[in-house]
Amino acid sequence: MFRLLNFCLLMLISAYGYACKFSNVEFATDFSGGRLAQCQQVSQDTFLLTFNPENTPINDSPWYSFKVTAKQPQTVNIVMQVNDGKHRYQPKISRDGKHWQKQPYTVNNRKMRLSLAASSQAAWISGQEIISNVDYYQWGKNLAAHQIVEQGVIGHSVQERPIYGLSARGEGKEWLVILGRQHPPELTGALAMFPFTETLLGVSPLALSFRERFNILVVPNLNPDGVYLGNWRHNVNGVDLNRDWKTFQQPESSAVNDYLTALVADKQKIAMAVDFHSTRKDIFYSMPHDYGLENPQLVNDWLTALQQAIAGAYPDFQVIQKPGNNPDKGVFKQYIADTFKVHAITYEMGDETDRGFIDKLAVEAANTLMTTMLATQAQD
């Protein structure tokens, strides 16, 4: 009986991803962000799932996301294996695709194991929460409905998905630029980008005076193809977008470059940029203060203010700043520094950083950035 099950490997390709169907259990990726390469039944209730990157070589950030259903309620044991790679993301489970909890698991010999109660009602297992292209669009639409921003299309991805830009424009000429989701699985960066941006676009006296002087451009989701496909890191051409800010071979990075170039041609001025990512810990990658940029102490002053602001609620938290200069890598922050002679940072949240903390830190980061930028000499 079980010997027969060993050979039970079935893949159904459909327009919406694919499913592995076994006699009672099904694994599917028919949703935005779904990713699963192969499934194999190894015993009645145990399944081996394997995962592949979109192409190689690639930074080892194995994203996985799939739905589990069972015709009759049963326990499903899942063994997850990354081809040629090591797990990075701790599993999360959702019963509705929106609300997520940490899922208990073990990792041994690069195999991740977990068990769940499966039924005809789907359970999602995913490396992080899912934030889809539609979620970004709706978020921008809600902000636009309050007439705080205009949501427009600034370009298209390789697969012709729109890249949205949200702009809050006043009388001033200086711009703060915010970028997100160059790397699809870096969800904690996105979880910081939302409250950070909402704070800038809020109605506090600080936000109002900030927007009297500064305009804001937000490109929350630069890699919509990668987000849809559940890519580990790249766009559909297999390119790391955060290595393309020197040669602009990709339409996604080119769209932002074209937009900023047009602003400058229109006598506008880029003042600062923040690019949201995730990595293993919370860290802010900056340009060196002696790199010759305008307002050399801007980021130092900001992060010092942030440290003070967060200390009351989180006395143990240390803001870590790591200045760096890599002129040949094609990284966004370097492009901003070299092209516009101003500071930019890569705002990295840890993959497993507490979600409530990400939110609080982002609000304080936005408030302290506004105060710090308002203290600089106004440009006209």
Residue 181 interacting with Zn ion (CB under 5 A): no
Residue 183 interacting with Zn ion (CB under 5 A): yes
Give the Cα separation of 335 and 329 in Å (integer): 9
Shortest reach from residue 350's CB to Zn ion, in Å: 12
- β-strands 74-82, 111-118: how paired? antiparallel
Identity of the residue, 280 or 341, whose beta carbon is nearer to Zn ion in the bound complex: 280
Q: Binding segment for Zn ion among 26-34, 100-108, 121-129, 273-281 (CB under 5 A)?
A: 273-281
Shortest reach from residue 53's CB to Zn ion, in Å: 15
Say if CB 80 and CB 111 are below 8 A apart. Answer: yes
Say if CB 73 and CB 81 are below 8 A apart. Answer: no
Identity of the residue, 183 or 243, whose beta carbon is nearer to Zn ion in the bound complex: 183
Residues 6 or more apart whose Cβ sits within 8 Å of residue 164: 136, 137, 140, 151, 152, 153, 154, 219, 220, 221
Q: Quick check: bond before 57 cis, omega within 30?
A: yes
Is 186 marked active-site? no
Residues 6 or more apart whose Cβ sits within 8 Å of residue 375: 301
C-alpha of 266 from chain center: 30
Q: Binding segment for Zn ion among 85-93, 157-165, 201-209, 276-284 (CB under 5 A)?
A: 276-284
Site string for Zn ion, 184-213 (x = CB under 5 A): --x---------------------------
Shortest reach from residue 221's CB to Zn ion, in Å: 13
Say if CB 133 and CB 161 are below 8 A apart. Answer: yes
Identity of the residue, 186 or 364, whose beta carbon is nearer to Zn ion in the bound complex: 186
Say if CB 225 and CB 218 are below 8 A apart. Answer: no
Shortest reach from residue 183's CB to Zn ion, in Å: 4
Which one of the listed residues 150, 348, 352, 364 is annotated catalytic?
Answer: 348
- Side chain identity at residue 127, one-letter code: G
Residue showing the smallest CB distance to Zn ion in the complex: 277
Residue 88 interacting with Zn ion (CB under 5 A): no
Identity of the residue, 141 or 322, whose beta carbon is nearer to Zn ion in the bound complex: 322
Shortest reach from residue 348's CB to Zn ion, in Å: 7
Give the Cα separation of 308 and 304 in Å (integer): 6
Among 277, 321, 334, 340, binds Zn ion (CB under 5 A): 277
Shortest reach from residue 310's CB to Zn ion, in Å: 23
Give the Cα separation of 365 and 350 in Å (integer): 16
Identity of the residue, 92 or 183, whose beta carbon is nearer to Zn ion in the bound complex: 183
Report helix angle 205-213 to 355-374, nearest 10: 50
Q: Binding segment for Zn ion among 158-166, 181-189, 282-290, 328-336 (CB under 5 A)?
A: 181-189
Identity of the residue, 183 or 343, whose beta carbon is nearer to Zn ion in the bound complex: 183
Say if CB 87 and CB 50 are below 8 A apart. Answer: no
Number of residues that bind Zn ion (CB under 5 A): 3
Where on the chain is the footprint of Zn ion (CB under 5 A)? Answer: 183, 186, 277
- Residues classed as catalytic: 348
